[in-house]
Structure 1
Amino acid sequence: MADDAKPVKVLIAGDVEGNFDDLFKRVGAVNDSQAGPFDLCVCVGRFFGGGVEDDAGSADGGASTAKPNNDELRPYVDGTSAAPMPTYFVDALPRGREFVKGETSAAQKGADSIEVAPNVRWLCRPGVHDLHGLRVAVLPGKYNKMAFEDASAMAASAAAAEGEFTMDDVSKLRASAFRDAAPPGGANGGENADAIDLFLTTSWPKGVELRSRDATTPDVVAASAAGSAVVADLARDLQPRYHACGAAVGCPSKVFYAREPYKNQRAMHVTRFLALAPVRNDAKHKWLHALGLVPARVMPPSSLRVQPPDATRSPYDAPPPPPGSMAAKGAALAAQDAAFDHASLRWEEPKAKRARLAANIDRRPLQGDTDKTVYVRNLGCWFCLSNEKDTHLVASIASESFVSMDKAGVVADHCQIVPIEHAPSFAAMAPSAAEEMWRYLDALRKCFAAGGGGDPPSGGEDGTDNGRDVVVFERHLALRSKGGNHCHVNVVPVPRARSGKAKKIFEQAAKKLNFEWCSIPKPESAMDAQAALLEHVGDGEYYAVHLPDGSILVRKIGRGEPHWMSFGREVLGHLLGCPERTSWQECLETEERETARAAAMKASFEKFDIMQE
């Protein structure tokens, strides 16, 4: 090791998005300048152009309708033009599918990279690559929470096709980072041989701007909020010297951001974070950055451990939330939800089930027809009124059902229709209860259509009304925990400008998870709806979505077959343009705010309430 070790000169570019001529022209010019020559160029973010993804994550809540535009790459593929230096990129699918044919089989055989043109390669394998002597950690693809947390083979196949990294990809990267590290004094270098020189991702790490002393712009805050907690965890654990990513996926903020260096928890060296703007961006934000990096493995330890005076604490080293705070309550509820074993505790012997449910039945009057009001004394159920949990959220109570605000709604007036009896599903409940819930649903449709609701949008300046349609979803899983599933039908108001996309976006989400919906025409009554559901799913588990036109999409869930628990929230969050609200733990509020939401909904719903008939 020597202090005068030769640095590896690297150019880092942001999202290319098919602008290959602009990329290589600029890279070539910089390479020929006094700053050059450079050893390699790495591209973070979306490399290929066009909008061929058929996903649910576009900014307007629907799929992009743009046509693919990668014609500028063809001269580099056929040799008519040449990349000025070795160029690597991390995001290929689904836009670049035609240029990476056979990528699946190559990746399965362990190929680190795939050549798409002379001097242009896709780093297709999650792991640590040796690029010109640098240890470069790569996580190919973008983050999609739904795909990431579904460990099934079906979901993994869909994620690979759509260019989304999975939990298995993250595990492979971690294993590679620590397996490939040489022991101190080993053959591959000295005591710094395990340091990651450069970490490349498409997605921003969530919360990267935290603890920064520099002024942080709203664009940076928005991009960070749209980032991935998974990428943040990797950055914290891998402790790279540099972490570079492209523009934030699903966020309109496309900016350059260079954070002050931050200290790591275990390593003595600091990490510097860079986010590059897209190539050819209208705002002229910086999209190309130059580095001269001496590989850590040949650096003297004293040089690697230099702490710059502006270094901050790690943004990912967050303190625990104060006791009693909403964040602490959210963490506690999340822990309870994690303990609620939805997947493996669904099945129970019928005799034991009947005995357990019989022991939990208690009849007490509350309101309406006492002969029809049944309470289940199950202290673990959030939806049983007899437990007196969150009753401040209730907006209306009838004889056999009630309307309650969702505790952490996707929007402020996201509400639920819940049977008072601890019934497992809409399809299986008593006809009288189903009919009453159907009347509630019709009343809510009328309320939102008339511009009502607890938090209605303002009308447009062009005189357009502020009426909304509704999307309704129900998840029935035969859970054994907490007395079994207690039916709750979610009702989410959607602006009319977006509601027409609901069917398409749910179909796209199903396609990504490799399943198909069965379609039920608009039922005329609750009895018709129950009959149609039973015809499709029998007495089994199901997921149902009631679209704005009244038709129903239903999926029968086979025994032991997984289904994403937050599926409805995830899809509606993208449809409504608020993907940051798809996690209920992130949407918790104070009881005072919850009470105010319920009061606003009661006042708006009063003239539509079935109890006023």
Structure 2
Amino acid sequence: METKQKILIVGDVNGKLKSFFARIENVNNKTGPFDLVLCVGDFFGPSPEIAELGAYKSNQKKVPIPVYILGPNDEATARFYTDTQNGDICENLSYLGKRGIYCTSSGLKIAYVSGVEAETATSKSVPEWKFTRQDVQAVRDSCFASKSNMGDYRGVDVLVTSQWPAGIRKEVQEGSKQIAWLANTIKPRYHICGLNGEYYEPPPYRTQPDKNTQMELATRFIALADFANRDKKKHIYALVLTPVDKMRILELIQKTTDETVSPYANMNFGDEGQNSGRERSGDQYFYDMNAYDDSRGNKRRSQGNNRISGNHDPKRQKPAFDQEKCWFCLSSGSIEKHLIISVGDHFYLALAKGPVNDTHILILSITHIQNASLLSADQWNELNKFKAALAQFFKDREEQIFIYERNYKTGHLQINAIGIDNNVAWKIKHVLEDKSEEHNITLETTELPKSPADLPQKTPYFVAELPDGTVMFTKQMKQFPLHFGREVICADNLLNCEEKIDWRQCKLEQEAEEAMAQSFRESFKPYDFTV
């Protein structure tokens, strides 16, 4: 089945049915075929060409493409929706309903809200051409219903409404605050509406991560003018879409140069009752790793089963963090994309900057997560899949994988992975012990963590995974050497390249980095489960 779908979106038809059907047939023949047509705004208008529908209802004529329309926007047009059979007005012409989600055969998700906002948001007796808070909340709930875990939400493909959202344009005062809240919450890739008789397409805006998604998703707002308007303002829009659930993460979060901040970022939804605990905006996954009591952390190491547990400090505040400047967020403008090897749903692989050798790899979270202890179950599982794939890759090269994470004075989860020749891999533990003694650090040995809960929570740590499946770790991070992991790798009895301990001393020209990354990318393909 073809994943991509071609759809046409048309502004207020206003009852010009004969020219509308002729126009979409013409467009379909010239630039189609299209899979469906969505009509926003007022489809029938006050005086529609109802007689034109007779030929379609009697099957003398056929609507060339499936057409889906929104509901009435006032009392005068509501009467034209009474003669429907389960939403079908005639073959290939259907009324979507007051609100909901329409899913196409390819998986495209189209959220919709008909009508205009009711004056009293909680009224139980509003007319059918008005929507309430309960209506937009129902759409929100439907969008989140298929989400398997908190943080996994990717947005919907299209949101179609008749009424404009409040705040999208200063000149438009009659926009709906409920629609603004819905668009801000469900994060559609496209939000398209009508009713105002204007074509308006500002640059896309990007929303911040929240409890429902860790990704910075972008929305493109499009308002269409009336169909066949005299001023020839744009009233038909064509889209070719791959469903968000089938897109690669890199495509979904890739930024453009003309993006703006969300028009709803500073909007106060007040006592609308919709920013409840479920919608806490701004939930982030990073903590100030410099604010801690080292002596307290050392005294409270867990006993018994040797879990690498830590201590929660409810008073610790989460600092603001500019993700645009993060070197490792995949959506950041600072990332060097030529280093990227493979991209999954939650993690990606990249060649290390200033690599120790040509197979020195970083496993990085796509979105801004501070450390591995804060991962969800799905994220943890994918992290382990990448570790296993790299382990097999190195094994086939007669090497054993050495993995470590330093959760100290770093803002983004980054895990180093490197292959050590089979003949010397057994020395890794001894080198770790020697280097820790040299820096007066106590390393403890334990079993491999089975879940994020087995790692220190909100507490600095260093964790090294040895080829034999054991782990050496410490929470003794006061004055911890930032290059400790590389000191171990570069030791004279392992890779014997101590001149490369500081990554800044072995940076490569971009051309060399590109060649090295491309070489690893090709070699890793047989092991890459994301391909």
Q: Could you state the TM-score of these two structures normalised by the residue count of structure 1?
A: 0.40
Structure number with the bigger relative contact order (C-alpha 8 A, sep ≥ 6) is: 1
Give the helix-richer structure, 1 or 2: 1
Q: Could you state the TM-score of these two structures normalised by the residue count of structure 2?
A: 0.46
